Amino acid sequence: MNTKLKKEFDELLLSGQTLTEKEFETKVDNFLANKSEVEKDAFSEYFIEISTQKMQQYKDTSDEISVLKQLDGIEEYINLSKLSQSYFGKTKSWIYQRLHGYMVHGKPAKFTDTEKKTLSEALLNLSENLRNVALKIA
């Protein structure tokens, strides 16, 4: 699909954000009424491509949010700012972006596999330190 057609289609999708479902369907019908069969096929393929990308973004975000779920409330007891700086050399914002899947540069922030391993190791180190302190106290 050429750039001009993609732009038209993207504008159509954006304009639909403020419309009811029925209004949007009517707008799409009117839009497609003026297009050739080749253009309609191209729009169909482009729509499937966009939908697939959005589903992948959703899956990626869901996977990263599951890291937060895996923390299962312990993040309240951990200094994430210190953890982020000590183990990743990054800011508190950086780790929160990944834990919550916030959008960064137009896509959801997520941990790489290496960063997940580092996070796991950091939590294991913290747990060992807590264990040692608890044993000293008892």
pLDDT at 117: 94
Distance CA 37, CA 107 (A): 33
pLDDT at 28: 87
pLDDT at 134: 94
pLDDT at 120: 94
pLDDT digits (tens, 9 = 90+) for 104-129: 888 888 899 899 999 999 999 999 99
pLDDT at 80: 92
User: Which parts of the chain register pLDDT below 70?
Assistant: 1, 60-65
